[in-house]
Structure 1
Amino acid sequence: MDVYSVDIRDWDGQLRIESTEVSGGGADLFLRRGSAPTPFEFDAAARTPGTSTESLSLSIDDTPPLSSGIWKIGVWRPSGTAYDISWYREGYPSNRPGLGAIPFDDGPGLDSGVTFRVWAPNALAVHLAADFNGFSGLATPLSLDGDGSDGTWSSDVRGVGAGTEYRYVITTPTGSLWRNDPRAKDLLNSTGPSVVVDPDLFDWGSDNYAMPDWNDLVIYEMHIGTFFDSPGGVPGDFTTAMQKLDYLAELGISAIELMPVCEFPADYSWGYNYSHPYAVESIYGHLTGLKEFVKAAHVRGMAVLLDVLYNHWGPTDMDLWQFDGWSSGGWGGIYFYNDDRAQTAWGDTRPDYTRGEVRDYIRDNVMYWLEEVRLDGLRWDSTSTMRLGPWGDLPEGWSLMQWCNDEVDANQGWKINIAEDMYGAPNEWITKDTGAGGAGFDSQWDAMFVHPVRAALVSPADPDRNMWDVRNAIVQSYNGDAFERVIYTESHDEVANGRSRVPEEIWPGNADSWYSKKRSTLGGVVVLTAPGIPMLFQGQELLEDGYFTDTDPIDWTKATTFAGIHDLYRDLIELRRNGGGVTAGLMGQHTNVFHVNNSDKLLAWHRWDQGGAGDDVVVVANFSNVTWPSYRIGMPAGGTWYLRFNSDWIGYDASYGDHPSTDISAGSGGYDGLPYHADLTIAPYTALIFSR
């Protein structure tokens, strides 16, 4: 028996052995792992009678499978027989599902490693360059899956796992392209390399968090880099933000909405230019940091939502661009439209919603955040850019949103998908069920609320405040559901892009003025008592001034300076979530703005769920700099209505008037179209909240 040794590397998927007869006949091939084979002890054999020309192959799919280590080739031959022999270690496509870098473990005594698979339909060849092969661009080939029609390349690499650093080397007619994995869940930084992640290694502990009902959501929009940080140095991260989670829980927040946290170029950004849709920004703490943040928020009873981009990506540090070397007309290649439809306000990087592989990429991304990362919902940035292009409607963008929303409803139906679609508002089709032709989102940011309410707050002169506009903003709804909209006076868009925080807009350069405090908190009352899902922007509860930038952290000294303003928002949130059991109507579907005095700038509205004691709520808002010693409004029911909140209380700010508003008694006699009426007293720029 002639014996030869061959070292099977971790990435070899097939061993092929060929012998050719030179003289004589009857030579047979044998193969055995670790030890020399015999005609009676072997793992594979080729024994064709009467010839020495044999062919033998063993792959990772055979039984027994090819595995890493030393294999022995044996040639049994009769005396006088001569032959030539050669063998080839070859790549072999994986039979495991999935795209990206997916760890596997076949069990005790069996193989473990990582499946690498990438979509590159125009590549001539694909290799894996990684730390385990010295980042060689030729050592580890990937093989086309199946008949090649899917355009995917794959390989199982044994003996590697989480933490492995890698890139794909794509051979094109004009050279080689070194690319990060489009589905990389981690990178060292925005230029790479990609890093393998094993989701099973993260300890979620006993996380059994249950998403609250959507009428119990009070959202706090957060930018990780500036939420809790000091000026200068590097931005804040998940660890620093976690230090303030107890603060948010005590404030009463039930959901945190993170501005985008996917990997973006450099260290400072709002996040809307991210270039790696599956990876979490390294400066913030990578994927593990995000999971720790989610876990910690859940422990404190708060949901975590994430702002995601499917309308564009990048445009810089983006390996998705012309990923496998192909493009048409110099456009973006396989992930993007290759004509004018690619154009957006942020670059020519609108994904190609007509390609099945791109649609899968986006759908899988949606489910990845909700399932593996355990986020509780997503806010989709500028969905109007998905449904409208330079040529008009993009029906394929609409159908993609429908598909993704249907997938979430079917698999994670208790989680919330929110659209930001400010173009052509109001648009009920955004939140209408897909079965009726709608996009199927659960809620949407409401342009019909923020713009008229902000205008009424920041206008310098009382006569310019339009109470009918505010009234219409309060009663606006979508498809008859009070909670199909998110309402706010501050968001990252509204406090930047040429605009400022509401207190700053009220009196530029004097955001801590009496006027700024009174009218901005009056807006806070409207947000937290109107129908809809209310949202605050980080620092709003601290009277944060100026405008938002990604290099200017929240000034947490304001938590002391304006402790009373913080308490005002805390008290409002407690009422909004019915913390005292006497304001359930603020979580209800029903609203009646029954009093609109546009001359004197007062409004009153009734909120209720089932109605009755502990449910009915009446809110009175004075948008003028006038004190009313006695002011009459209609009331929906008779008897005593208890004052639950007075925004003029001196405990909220020493400059406030502490106007002596009190409980009121509703007597018979119709007013404002209601069967009862009551007289109250109210201070300037003040809101009162009553309940039965």
Structure 2
Amino acid sequence: MAKPLITAGMGSVPSPDGVTFRVWAPHAEHVSVIGSFNNWDGAAHPMDSEPRGFWSICVEGASIGDHYKYQLATPWGVINRIDPYAREVTNSVGNAIIHNPDFDWEHDDFSMQSWNELVIYELHVGTFNDHDLKQPGRFNSITTRLDHLKRLGINAIQVMPVGQFAGQRSWGYNPSHIFAVDTDYGGSLGFKRFIKRAHQVGIGVILDVVFNHFGPSDLDLWRFDGWSENDKGGIYFYNDDRAQTPWGQTRPDYGRGEVRQYILDNVRMWLEEYHLDGLRFDSTGYIRNIGDAGTEEIPDGWSILQAINETVARHYPGRITIAEDLRSNDWLTKDVGAGGAGFGSQWDPHFVQPIRQAVIATRDEDRALGAVREAILYRYNDDAFERVIYSESHDDVANGQSRIPQDVNQADPTGWYAQKRSTLAAAMVFTAPGIPMLFQGQEFLEGGWFRDTVPVDWDQRQEFRGIVRLYRDLIHLRLDREGRSRGLCGQFTQVFHVDTDRSVLAFHRWDRGGPGDDVVVIANLSHQPQENYVVGFPASEAWNLRFNSDWHGYSECFDGYPSADVAAVSGEWDGFPYHGSFGVGPYSVLIYSQ
């Protein structure tokens, strides 16, 4: 099936005959294209009027690299605007640039792992590997760390938003121009080179996109052709109470055909022109609802989410779409044909919040094992991989919250308690059912809280190289790299042992079952080691210890509690026909398989 092209040449499109410009401005009386090719003369290239408020022209003297804008004569005066479809801009308040669409992908045919085998690493371009504090990091600085991520076992990077935003430093959730890649990060060419290199080393790239609001600052879309209603944003935005978001009155009008097409074209651009492997959609709750409570629905918002996912499923099979909704809705990941929004997966608040609370709590008696059990078992539409699970994300380590090591022990965020309980949370992430995700620097105890002005401290990678190895070992088991832990990629989970008195929990993971597949995970959430502890096992004879988070090799301050293989013997226990005894260190996780 042929893939749809970006709508009828919107923006600037180079050709052998020159450059065609096309823009939507229904309330303009006249529109001209002005730029470096005509000395910014508004009379030189008046555009032709088309039906439904579109304007177009082919300029023979224009070429790739030229700067330009649209000049609109309106009942409210003459205004100059940056092209809404500009693929490249000088900066958020500068000029559009005629973009060169050609790029040598060298027959890039990368295909991302199946979703049950994904391990995602979320990062922020500006701080991930920033060596010059005078300017943010760039795409090429991420490229220099791909070997680290590859060795760690990461097979998908989720990049926080890269659309051109106001200012030099930002989280990226304030997009001024959604088709242009931020110039400080390296622009379109830098992003394509990074994606190409990531694919060459076997790592997919997922991009965070923002359609719940635009701007709100440096936003030429605001009253783009001069018109507004109720003193609001004009043609690209709702002009009633639906305009209001926590970030200003800049919610796009999802019911207007041209705006819907604008968003769909942006989705197509990322997947087609940038070879991205998926998209993560920011705050979908504010696309489908007006307020925080979620009681005032926006049917047009639900409809645009369905249209996006139908487009991706039909034309870009294998690409993943991930919703950040955080409102526990099975319908988000239900098929569009069944009335759902059609996302492939969604961030799961049912996991992150109970797990963080369990490891951050000061007293053992405050670790709610029942909530941990529910966090492990929760799923959407009875599919374990319709959720992304994590203990840290950009949202969970900012806005009043810190990284887990910092929250565990403010006074000593790299000490024993911080190391033990943060790695306990990590072990839950990689053994529970779902798509596991890390946030940048988590694998070497990055402390404090996330800020777009503070780069990741890569010196800690060497200082805590044992912790890095712990994460690597967990990921390798999660991905069954040695053919003995397939159950961690499987759909099935049974939490069969919850001991609230001694703070011990055990669960069974499997795909098809049997040796090399069945996995038993035991978590001690107590500060005390457990000796001669007995749990049930699904099969008899030897169960080999594949991972012990208390191993001294992971950290000099770990005790290295002498956990060992287990010989399961007959005798019903925990609902299983066999049982075995073992010892487990404080705040530690053991992983067994046959």
**Helix, strand or coil for the counterpart of 1:592?**
strand
Q: Does 2:464 align with 1:562?
A: yes
Residues 275 and 315 of structure 1 are in contact (CA less than 8 Å); yes or no, is this contact kept in structure 2? Answer: yes
**Helix, strand or coil for the counterpart of 1:315?**
coil
* Residues in 2 aligned to 1:211 and 1:614: alpha-carbon distance in whole angstroms: 24
* Partner residue in 1 for 2:420: 518
User: What residue identity is the alignment partner of 2:156?
Assistant: A
Tell me which of 421, 431, 437 is aligned to 1:529: 431
* Residues in 2 aligned to 1:379 and 1:113: alpha-carbon distance in whole angstroms: 36
* Partner residue in 2 for 1:578: 480
* Residues in 1 aligned to 2:577 and 2:91: alpha-carbon distance in whole angstroms: 65
The alpha-carbon deviation at position 286 of structure 1 amounts to 0.4
User: What residue identity is the alignment partner of 1:583?
Assistant: S
Tell me which of 202, 206, 228 is aligned to 2:103: 202
Taking the TM superposition and a 5 Å limit, the aligned residue runs for 1:72-83 are none
User: What residue identity is the alignment partner of 2:316?
Assistant: Q
**Helix, strand or coil for the counterpart of 1:517?**
helix
* Partner residue in 1 for 2:3: none
* Residues in 1 aligned to 2:405 and 2:593: alpha-carbon distance in whole angstroms: 29
Tell me which of 294, 297, 304 is aligned to 2:195: 294
Larger RCO: 1 or 2 (CA < 8 Å, sep 6+): 2
Residues 161 and 198 of structure 1 are in contact (CA less than 8 Å); yes or no, is this contact kept in structure 2? Answer: no
* Partner residue in 2 for 1:406: 310
* Residues in 2 aligned to 1:642 and 1:151: alpha-carbon distance in whole angstroms: 70
**Helix, strand or coil for the counterpart of 1:421?**
coil
* Partner residue in 2 for 1:477: 379
The alpha-carbon deviation at position 388 of structure 1 amounts to 0.4
* Partner residue in 2 for 1:455: 357
Residues 482 and 531 of structure 1 are in contact (CA less than 8 Å); yes or no, is this contact kept in structure 2? Answer: yes
Residues 125 and 171 of structure 1 are in contact (CA less than 8 Å); yes or no, is this contact kept in structure 2? Answer: yes
Residues 45 and 59 of structure 2 are in contact (CA less than 8 Å); yes or no, is this contact kept in structure 1? Answer: no
* Partner residue in 2 for 1:346: 247
Structure (1 or 2) with the greater helix fraction: 2
Larger Rg: 1
* Partner residue in 2 for 1:366: 267
* Residues in 1 aligned to 2:100 and 2:515: alpha-carbon distance in whole angstroms: 53
Taking the TM superposition and a 5 Å limit, the aligned residue runs for 1:434-513 are 434-513=336-415
Residues 217 and 255 of structure 1 are in contact (CA less than 8 Å); yes or no, is this contact kept in structure 2? Answer: yes
* Partner residue in 2 for 1:304: 205
* Partner residue in 2 for 1:653: 555
Q: Does 2:589 align with 1:690?
A: no
Residues 37 and 61 of structure 2 are in contact (CA less than 8 Å); yes or no, is this contact kept in structure 1? Answer: no
The alpha-carbon deviation at position 600 of structure 1 amounts to 1.0
* Residues in 1 aligned to 2:511 and 2:60: alpha-carbon distance in whole angstroms: 59
* Partner residue in 2 for 1:422: 326
The alpha-carbon deviation at position 138 of structure 1 amounts to 2.0
* Partner residue in 2 for 1:544: 446
Tell me which of 155, 164, 168 is aligned to 1:267: 168
What is the CA deviation profile of residues 54-103 of structure 1, one whole-angstrom value per residue up to 9, with x for unaligned ones? xxxxxxxxxxxxxxxxxxxxxxxxxxxxxxxxxxxxxxxxxx93211112
Q: Does 2:525 align with 1:614?
A: no
The alpha-carbon deviation at position 657 of structure 1 amounts to 0.6
Q: Does 2:225 align with 1:324?
A: yes
More deviation in 485-494 or 240-249?
Answer: 240-249
Residues 310 and 362 of structure 1 are in contact (CA less than 8 Å); yes or no, is this contact kept in structure 2? Answer: yes
User: What residue identity is the alignment partner of 2:222?
Assistant: W
Tell me which of 532, 535, 546 is aligned to 1:633: 535
* Residues in 2 aligned to 1:607 and 1:361: alpha-carbon distance in whole angstroms: 44
Taking the TM superposition and a 5 Å limit, the aligned residue runs for 1:55-454 are 97-105=8-16, 112-145=17-50, 148=51, 150-199=52-101, 201-230=102-131, 232-390=133-291, 392-423=296-327, 425=328, 427-454=329-356
**Helix, strand or coil for the counterpart of 1:392?**
coil
What is the CA deviation profile of residues 460-508 of structure 1, one whole-angstrom value per residue up to 9, with x for unaligned ones? 0000001010000000000011100000000000000000000000001
**Helix, strand or coil for the counterpart of 2:506?**
strand
**Helix, strand or coil for the counterpart of 1:132?**
coil
Provide the identity percentage.
Answer: 52
TM-score by length of 2: 0.97
What is the CA deviation profile of residues 148-192 of structure 1, one whole-angstrom value per residue up to 9, with x for unaligned ones? 3x2100011224332121100011112111100001111011112
What is the CA deviation profile of residues 561-586 of structure 1, one whole-angstrom value per residue up to 9, with x for unaligned ones? 11100110011011111111111111
* Residues in 2 aligned to 1:226 and 1:415: alpha-carbon distance in whole angstroms: 27
The alpha-carbon deviation at position 230 of structure 1 amounts to 2.6
User: What residue identity is the alignment partner of 1:117?
Assistant: R
* Residues in 2 aligned to 1:136 and 1:621: alpha-carbon distance in whole angstroms: 71
* Partner residue in 1 for 2:494: 592
* Residues in 2 aligned to 1:666 and 1:114: alpha-carbon distance in whole angstroms: 74
The alpha-carbon deviation at position 376 of structure 1 amounts to 0.5
* Residues in 2 aligned to 1:279 and 1:547: alpha-carbon distance in whole angstroms: 29
User: What residue identity is the alignment partner of 2:273?
Assistant: E
**Helix, strand or coil for the counterpart of 1:611?**
coil
Q: CA-atom RMSD, angstroms?
A: 1.0
* Residues in 1 aligned to 2:97 and 2:64: alpha-carbon distance in whole angstroms: 7
The alpha-carbon deviation at position 375 of structure 1 amounts to 0.6
The alpha-carbon deviation at position 524 of structure 1 amounts to 0.3
* Partner residue in 2 for 1:54: none
**Helix, strand or coil for the counterpart of 1:678?**
strand
* Residues in 2 aligned to 1:664 and 1:174: alpha-carbon distance in whole angstroms: 80
TM-score by length of 1: 0.84
* Residues in 1 aligned to 2:444 and 2:104: alpha-carbon distance in whole angstroms: 35
User: What residue identity is the alignment partner of 1:276?
Assistant: H
* Partner residue in 2 for 1:30: none
What is the CA deviation profile of residues 410-469 of structure 1, one whole-angstrom value per residue up to 9, with x for unaligned ones? 00120000000013x2x1011011111111100000000000110001000000001010
Structure (1 or 2) with the greater strand fraction: 1
Residues 487 and 534 of structure 1 are in contact (CA less than 8 Å); yes or no, is this contact kept in structure 2? Answer: yes
The alpha-carbon deviation at position 231 of structure 1 amounts to 5.7
